Amino acid sequence: MYGRIVLSTVILCAALAGRLAFLPNVAHAAPAVGVCKLSISGDDMMRFDQTELKVSKDCPEVEVTLTHTGKLAAQVMGHNWVLMKTADLAGVATDGLGAGLPNDYIKPGDARVIAHTKVIGGGQSTAVRFALSKLTAGESYSFLCTYPGHSAFMKGVFKIT
């Protein structure tokens, strides 16, 4: 009899613990509402599907998901998504050339890079999240793919609205 009570208590406690463990998860997920999600894709034709990305100034955090809709490997047709001031675009692209694939074609420690994803190949997807506080209202921002030869075609403007 006593054993049975202990057993039911254990089960009850486990059920409660399960519930309690569930509640903090919900609370923890709540701030994700403040993350504004953007998506962009690149293909085997060296193109992004968008030349302009917009985000509200009220977004505390931005998450950009890059999808490679092509079939070619990262070594042949790699794409990344790199954000910087428009004024820094050429410098980031040029310095990224020599950085190589292991550095995602971004000069290590490049302070001009505000956010970037890794280089991905066909069929892959990757994301980067950053605080919008890293950007200044009124400044002009651009994004590009720093894979060699791509930046002339794969670029666009990043607007805060």
Query: Which residues of this protein are in contact with Zn ion, per CB under 5 A?
Result: 79, 145, 147, 150, 154
Nearer to Zn ion, 116 or 150 (CB): 150
Closer residue to Zn ion (CB): 141 or 147? 147
State the CB neighbour count (10 A cutoff) for residue 111: 8
Nearer to Zn ion, 47 or 112 (CB): 47
Which residue has tokens 């400044």?
A: 139
Cβ-Cβ contacts under 8 Å for 105 (sequence gap 6 or more): 78, 80, 96, 97, 99, 119, 146, 147, 148
Shortest distance, position 128 Cβ to Zn ion, whole Å: 15
Do 79 and 44 form a contact (C-beta atoms < 8 A)? Answer: no
Q: SS3 for 160? A: strand
The backbone torsions φ and ψ at residue 131, rounded to the nearest 5 degrees and listed phi first, read: -80, 135
Nearer to Zn ion, 7 or 40 (CB): 40
Residue of 142, 108, 117, 132 lying closest to 42 (CA atoms): 117
Rounded to the nearest whole angstrom, what is the least distance from the CB of residue 157 to Zn ion in the complex?
Answer: 17
Q: How far is the CB of 145 from Zn ion (least distance, A)?
A: 3
Would you say 106 or 154 has its CB closer to Zn ion? 154
CB of 133 to Zn ion, least distance (A): 28
Q: Where are the alpha helices (DSSP H) in the chain?
A: 2-29, 74-77, 89-97
Nearest distance from residue 150's CB to Zn ion, in Å?
4
Q: What is the DSSP letter of 73?
A: -
